[in-house]
Structures are given as structure tokens and as C-alpha cells.
Structure 1
Amino acid sequence: MRKPDNSVGPFTPDVMNFKLPQRFTLPMTLTPYDELGDPKKFLKKFRTIMIVNGASDPILCRCFLNYLDGPALDWLCALPAGSISQFQELAKLFEDHFAGSAIYLHDSDYLNTIKQKQNESLKDYMTRFTKVAISIPDLHPEVHLHAIKSGFRPENFQETIAVAKPKTLAEFREKAKGQIDIEELRQARKSDKAYYRDDDKTQNSKRNFKITPRFDSYTQFNMKRENIIKEILNPKLIKPPRNAGTYQDTKNVDKSKYCAFHQKHGHTTDECVVAKDLL
């Protein structure tokens, strides 16, 4: 927290020259206000802490500086010199100036409106809930725990929590961590199954692959197509196709049949649709 410059300020001389009691200790149980949060709630907590410690009006004014930070401290230091003689005046200016900051923050009641969506993972739900929870100042752990539990869908984890009855956020997070690990493992298994199903479809498509002729009829030669293919393969006028393995299923092929063009077993050169199209 930045230390205020007390050499100048908005307080009247009687406030600035007031000396704190020698044994007065500044309570530091309140987080300094930096422009975020409800100013009314902050003033209420500040007054409560200071009154318990027997602070008078001049002490309230002098100590208020120590509970501001960032833009809020800059605002106070920028007030006209000698414009504040009572804490009530300072509190009114403070509340009016930062009134808009309260509308940007949720309170603890808002947490009860956050529910786990259909098909939303536990991890995503807790991440979304936590982002709101950490923005609520002084959120009580029991309120936090009750709200996050009430937002679960009625599924297995809700039953687990009902049986385990975690009493603290730490106990709850430990149970949630185990459930998140289980969900992620299940999702990984689903992904693996989907991958293998897609791979099986690819293999089946290869097995069912069948080349269709490009022409309705073919020229009748006075010699076998196999002999013609061999003649033009030898001087390397043509080359065997690189993707010969995809022509048909390579498993359980008929070894009694051989294609000179594909240089594979399973069909004859005369039956080869690719060779017919080529010739």
C-alpha cells in the first residue's frame, strides 16, 4: 500500500495538527480501498473497526488515508486544501464519488444464480464460478461453499458431495479434483474410441473401394492386354501406379491372379480396369 503524502491534503489545520495518542495502533484488518467495491460497505467496515478501537472524529480523518490505495488515494489527495473538517463530510464525498464502482461487482447472493449448464464439465463450471467468487470482497467461505454446491446438476458428483459432506472449501476442492480427473479420463477414452471408429471406417472404405471403368466399351486387340502392358513396361514407356496398394484390399487376395501393370496379386491384367483405360 502506498504511503500518503501528509504534507498537503484536504483537511483543515485543526485536523492535520491533531496528534494521535501515543499508544494508538492503526488496525490493519481492512483491505485498502482502490476504487473497486461498494463504498458504503467499505465505510461501514472502516467505522466499525475504528470505533472499536476508540477513535474520535479527527482520528477517523487522519487514519482514513491509510486505508486508501491507487485511484482512491489519488482522489483524496486531489481534494481542495482545507475542504474537510469532519469525517462525515469526507465520507459523503467518498460515497458519492465512488458510488458507480458498486454496480460493477456482484454480491454473494449472485452466486446462487450460477448453475452448471447442460453438458458443461465440472472443471468449466468451477472455473466460471470462481471467476465471479474472487471478485466479491470479503466473501465468507461457508457462503462460497454452499453456493457452489447448490449449482451442480443432479448427477453423480452431487451425490458424492451429499455423502462426503465436505465442511471446508479445501475438502470440497479435494473431492472436486478427483471428479475432474475422472471426467477428463472418460473424455480421453471417448476421443480414443472415436479415433478408432474413424480409422475403421477408413479401412472399410479401402476394402470396399472399387474402380469403375471410364468407358462403355474397349478396343479389341489381336493380343492379350497383359502382353501389351509388359511390352510398354519394359522400355519404361509407362510406370506402374504408385498407389497400387489402394486398388483393392491387399488381405486375402487371390494369389493365382497377377496384374502385370499393378505388379500385384488379386486380379489379372486382362481384368484390370486401370490397364484397360490406359490402353
Structure 2
Amino acid sequence: MKLPTSSIDNFEQLSNAFLHHFIGGQRPKRTPDHLLTIRQGEKETLRSYVKRFTRETLEVDEADDKVQLTTFKAGLRSRELITSLAKNPPKMMAEMLLKAQKYINDKDALAAIRDARRPRDKERKDDDCRG
């Protein structure tokens, strides 16, 4: 409807105009080098980094597992996780994400235990002061 009157003479011109109109809004795929720019922020959680990295890899054309593994590790801040990955390196990105998830779960479990102890510790101190 927005094309000027008599601007299309044949089907090929119509096809090209159609493709140009609808493909023009798409973002071109990024190169694998883009993954090198993804780093875990200073105060960013590992969970957030994993989610962001995974989302960014969807925008990259032809990033194989080796590239993803290398760039993911390069962007990590956790020395514990990096050491663990160095001892038993994953061979596929899916394995890396599984290891990262286990690490996140471990940290969450330890934090929950620590948080659960705090009120009882406070109650004990209050009881000690009263006794």
C-alpha cells in the first residue's frame, strides 16, 4: 500500500521490495568475536551472567562449542569456578552450563543454611544474656 503507483513492473521487483521491507528491520547476526566482549560484572551474580551470556550467543552466527567455552570462561569472575573448570574441563557448552548451575545451586544452598542459622544464633545470645 505504501509503494508509489506503477513502481512495480514484475513479480521479481515485488519480491525484492517485499524482502527489503520486512528484512530491513532484522538485526544482522554478530560474529563470534562478540562473545569476547561479554564479561561478568563486578557485582553481577553468576546466575545473571549465565543468562546474559546464553542470550548473547543466540545473536552470534556460527559460534561453536569451543568458542563458547573459551569466551564463557574468559568472562568469569569466580576463581573457585574457574579452578573447578580447569581441573575437569567441560567438552561441550551444555556441560559447562550444567557445571555453572551446580555451582550456583551450591552457593544458594550454603547461603540458605547461613541465613537459617542467623535467627537461632541471635536467640541463643539473647538467652545467654538473660540467663
Greater Rg by CA: 1
For residues 119-161 of structure 1, what are the alpha-carbon distances to aligned partners after superposition, in whole Å with 9 as ceiling and x for unaligned? 4332222112112223435432322222211111151110111
* TM-score in terms of structure 2 length: 0.68
8 Å Cα contact 1:106/1:132 also seen in 2: no
The answer to which structure has the higher helix fraction is 2
Match in the other structure for 1:189:
113
User: Which ranges in structure 2 are unaligned for 5 or more consecutive residues?
Assistant: 1-6
The match for 2:27 among 102, 116, 120 is: 102
**Residue 84 (structure 1) aligned with residue 8 (structure 2):** no
Matched to 1:158, the amino acid is: I
**Residue 180 (structure 1) aligned with residue 110 (structure 2):** no
The aligned length equals: 123
| Aligned CA-pair RMSD | 3.3
User: Which ranges in structure 1 are unaligned for 5 or more consecutive residues?
Assistant: 1-78, 208-248, 252-279
For residues 141-200 of structure 1, what are the alpha-carbon distances to aligned partners after superposition, in whole Å with 9 as ceiling and x for unaligned? 322222211111151110111221212113323322332222112211221233334445
CA distance in structure 2 between the partners assigned to 1:153 and 1:175 by the alignment: 15
Matched to 1:186, the amino acid is: L
CA distance in structure 2 between the partners assigned to 1:200 and 1:80 by the alignment: 84
- Residue identity over aligned pairs, in percent, reads 22
List 4+ stretches of structure 1 deviating above 4 A: none
* TM-score in terms of structure 1 length: 0.36
Matched to 1:139, the amino acid is: A
Matched to 2:83, the amino acid is: E
Counterparts in 2 of 1:80 and 1:160: CA distance versus 1, 3 Å: same
Counterparts in 2 of 1:119 and 1:189: CA distance versus 1, 3 Å: farther
Secondary structure of the structure 1 residue equivalent to 2:98:
helix
CA distance in structure 2 between the partners assigned to 1:200 and 1:127 by the alignment: 40
Matched to 2:74, the amino acid is: S
8 Å Cα contact 1:112/1:147 also seen in 2: yes
Secondary structure of the structure 2 residue equivalent to 1:102:
coil
Match in the other structure for 1:162:
86
Counterparts in 2 of 1:200 and 1:129: CA distance versus 1, 3 Å: farther
Alpha-carbon offset, residue 110 of structure 1: 2.4
CA distance in structure 1 between the partners assigned to 2:31 and 2:115 by the alignment: 40
CA distance in structure 2 between the partners assigned to 1:185 and 1:136 by the alignment: 34
More relative contact order, 1 or 2 (CA 8 Å, 6+ apart): 2
8 Å Cα contact 2:32/2:60 also seen in 1: yes
Matched to 2:10, the amino acid is: G
